[in-house]
Structure 1
């Protein structure tokens, strides 16, 4: 079993001048000590606007400083809420690769979902959209670190070489972080390590680990390597005297749990005015964090405690003997890595250092034997990688120029589209660049707030349809075509009764998609007939294609097997 540490960079209560700098310096000293003592990794989640709970808004900066002061400890960058970065993870990838270089190949990158209104509201992310967005972003991130050059997709332009490249090949280990059993299952489906940040007793965790490894054998990796590992976070404070361990560590562990619930479940925060610490002290008994329910009794440890009608949290807070027994239960459950949160909620710096030293001296040696055989073999990994799509390749003629520029300001985007004439080439180019630069989000917003007439007049012009079909060409995923070659014909009905036909041809070596205006030269494998506006709404994810078929708004003729995988072929979730 491996042992790591977690840092939220918490600073409860009003912060005096210089307190934040002192906190960071002390955290770096703790990481230095953990490195010398043989701890496996330090994890720093990325969080924003969560006063008192976390100052870790720029974890890569902290980890870069830690890299300069350490030698072997791995640097856990995340969980990073990739949905907040949209489907463009370039800056995260560049930071992770740079960190991997300066640390000599010690980085692990974890994605995650944010459930805090402080972040979702600030960055304009809908809760329902998160999973699709982080999955897309993490898949793109892996490709950025592997493809030479990056082949584009998901709103990202092709023909860009992401620099620098990481030390670790094909890329640093990829994880998914979260708090629920479902996190482990979703991680396994994507071939990712599972990093669970909500403390849970060992006995239910056994089933979680079993499900994770069973699911992992059927995974379709999001990255170009499978990282098989199950990690669980746990509050920790150890001392020879149980009562002293409780006095040093319990309030900090409880504040961390309260602050997590405050920002993710029940809090109503007034920035710069609300004292989360004062609310914690006043309400802790009401939310299952009663101090009086935890007593020094010498009993075996558990994460959740119920005593005297009050619930509370404990975890690995006790004597070395008590903590060893608890860790052995996690080891028996199959947990690969325990992530210890010691510096939580204002625990004194010297107490953190002492706990790290005592744990390393009296707990870690009991688990330092030969590693248990892996439940995910090299053969499992090879089969999993055969199921993922191949690396995408950029055409030899794809390039960008020194005179390329970005899009018009967002406030002018609608006007730009509205006034674009069918024959106005300069405005068409500006609109195309706006869509490419802003990606799907801007296009989807425009579609949602437009009626059918407006969509047909603007995006439904010849120029606008060229943009959509050109995007389909770029997003085509050869590995998901299932061997299909042939023509797909779109018959788009205009409001005036005319029909505009477009054909997407799949073929060639390497396999590519080519779109052109006009009907197929021969018999198409699949013909799709629908209104121009409905076609645009499906492209903008404002109309579900299944619903469109069921309601008669879209008609299919030909090979229905092609229709079933159409979405996946063009880089989207399966449509049917």
Structure 2
């Protein structure tokens, strides 16, 4: 089991320049510590216009800073929005190759379609065309990284024959992923031989379904690139403390705040009804996964399976994800600066000392 960290770079209301700067500085410090502690990857999303929820609109710049201040930590664009009006595929290929060079071959490339009409509409992009454009990006990006000259005549973009430079240092190219929020995307990933990158917390039942479907289909994949990436990663939340009640109180505040901000995005889908973006109802942790306790005062504010608690509780939760065949868990560490930075760093250190050894090679 691999463990990574996952950044939205959310900023609290009322929005202030100082808080925005602090979110970036804290994330860089968390990345440096993650590198020291043995976390594998730092993922950063790409979002636009989503005040408070995510101020990570230039993740390739942020990830370059991460790469320059770490030595082992992989950097993951999770994921670049594959819509021509937002990111032309040539620019995606060029930026990724440059970042792979600067990081010494530590780049993972996640791909995405964007989440809401708030983002797509801001660039005058048609939500109904995003699946088609994503499919074309997945086809052409590996070619831009590996072929000397590329020509592409697609439906959503056209490229006259050109040499796309620079080239990445990883052979044959950086691992490709697709962000999985909408049901069914795991099948798209498997069919194309790319990694399944969960970026929304899923229940045990939903993750088990996704992983099983992915493992079954990828056996017959037609690889989009020159290498198959058959990894399944899921998103989670992390706050580790010696005292479970303290962890639940502090981490639960972060968990609930992120859920509130994220839920606003889900409803924004209804502004532009389209079969291209399916409903996400009942997919997040909760419901049958919640602690069943007759005393409401004794209930934890976070569902089972979320890595918020003392080390023993977190180990038990992760072992369930591991039993489903999940290869990696990427943790959200904070939301809108709600958890003081010293507590975030202490949580990471305790997790590395008391939880990670259970999942290392030869661990119990």
Q: Which TM-score bucket, shorter chain as reference?
A: 0.7 to 0.9
Does the 8 Å CA contact 1:113/1:178 hold for their aligned counterparts?
no
Secondary structure, counterpart of 2:150 in structure 1: coil
**Change in CA separation of 1:192 and 1:176 when aligned onto 2, cut-off 3 Å:** same
What is the CA-CA distance between 1:306 and the residue it aligns to?
6.8
Residues 116 and 269 of structure 2 are in contact (CA less than 8 Å); yes or no, is this contact kept in structure 1?
Answer: no
Q: Which has the larger radius of gyration?
A: 1
Separation in structure 2 between the aligned mates of residue 75 and residue 260 of structure 1, nearest angstrom: 23
Q: Secondary structure of the equivalent of 2:220? A: coil
- Segments of structure 2 that go 5 or more residues without pairing to the other structure are 272-280
User: Does 2:104 correspond to 1:113?
Assistant: no
Q: Relative to structure 1, is the Cα distance of residues 359 and 190 closer, same or farther in structure 2, using a 3 angstrom cutoff?
A: same
Cα 1:217–1:22 shift into 2, 3 Å: same
Q: Could you tell me how far apart the structure 2 residues matched to 1:86 and 1:47 are? A: 11
Give how far 1:267 is off. Answer: 8.7
Q: Indicate conservation of the 8 Å contact 1:232/1:339, yes or no.
A: yes
Query: Could you say if the C-alpha distance between residues 218 and 266 of structure 1 is closer, same or farther in structure 2, counting changes exceeding 3 Å?
Result: same
Task: Check whether the contact 1:203–1:333 (CA below 8 A) recurs between aligned residues.
Answer: no
Distance (Å, rounded) in 2 between the aligned partners of 1:267 and 1:311:
30
**Larger relative contact order, structure 1 or 2 (CA cutoff 8 Å, min sep 6):** 2
Residues 163, 266 of structure 1: alpha-carbon distance in 2 compared, 3 angstrom cutoff:
closer
Residue in 2 aligned with 1:334? 325
- Partners of 2:362 and 2:79 lie apart in 1 by 29
SS class of match (2:53): coil
What is the aligned counterpart of 2:348 among 343, 356, 361?
A: 356
- 3-state SS, counterpart of residue 159 of structure 1: strand
Backbone CA RMSD of aligned residues: 2.6
Matching residue of 2:278: none
Question: C-alpha distance in 2, partners of 1:169/1:149?
Answer: 18
Matches within 5 A, 1:320-399: 320-346=311-337, 347-369=339-361
CA displacement, residues 407-448 of structure 1 (integer Å, 9 cap, x when unaligned): xxxxxxxxxxxxxxxxxxxxxxxxxxxxxxxxxxxxxxxxxx
Aligned to 2:174: 172
CA contact 1:9–1:24 (8 Å) conserved in 2? yes
* 1:153 match: 153
Contact 1:77 1:110 in 2 (8 A): yes
| 1:48-447 aligned within 5 A | 48-83=48-83, 85=85, 88-154=88-154, 155-266=157-268, 304=290, 313-314=302-303, 315-346=306-337, 347-369=339-361
Q: Write the distance in 2 (CA, Å) between the matches of 1:265 and 1:311.
A: 26
CA distance in 2 between partners of 1:87 and 1:65 (Å) = 20
Check whether the contact 1:117–1:263 (CA below 8 A) recurs between aligned residues.
Answer: no
C-alpha change, 1:181 and 1:36, in structure 2 (3 Å) is same
Are 2:76 and 2:108, in contact at CA under 8 Å, matched by a contact in 1? yes
Contact 2:7 2:43 in 1 (8 A): yes
Distance 2:253 2:158 in 1: 46
Q: By how many angstroms is 1:266 displaced?
A: 4.6
- Report what 2:276 is aligned to: none
Q: 1:144 to 1:304 in 2, by over 3 A?
A: farther
What's the offset of the Cα at 1:263? 2.2
- The structural deviation recorded for 1:254 is 1.5
TM-score where L is the length of structure 2:
0.87
Report the alpha carbon displacement of residue 88 of structure 1 after superposing the two structures with TM.
3.4
CA spacing shift, 1:87–1:150, aligned 2, 3 Å: farther
Map of 1:35 onto structure 2: 35
Distance in 2, matches of 1:187 and 1:91, equals 22
Contact 1:195 1:232 in 2 (8 A): yes
* Distance in 2 (alpha carbons) for counterparts of 1:267 and 1:131: 15
The answer on whether the counterparts of 2:6 and 2:331 sit within 8 Å (CA) in structure 1 is: yes
SS at match of 2:43: strand
The CA distance in 1 between the partners of 2:196 and 2:71, in whole Å, is 25
CA separation of 1:303/1:361 partners in 2, compared to 1, >3 Å: closer, same or farther?
Answer: farther
What secondary structure sits across from 1:227 in the alignment?
coil
Contact 1:231 1:336 in 2 (8 A): yes
Which blocks of at least 5 consecutive residues in structure 1 are unaligned? 270-286, 289-293, 295-301, 372-576
| Alpha-carbon separation, structure 2, partners of 1:164 and 1:123 | 27
1:4-44 Cα offsets, whole Å, 9 max, x none, are: 01010011211333221122111100000000000010110
In the alignment of these two chains, the number of paired residues is: 342
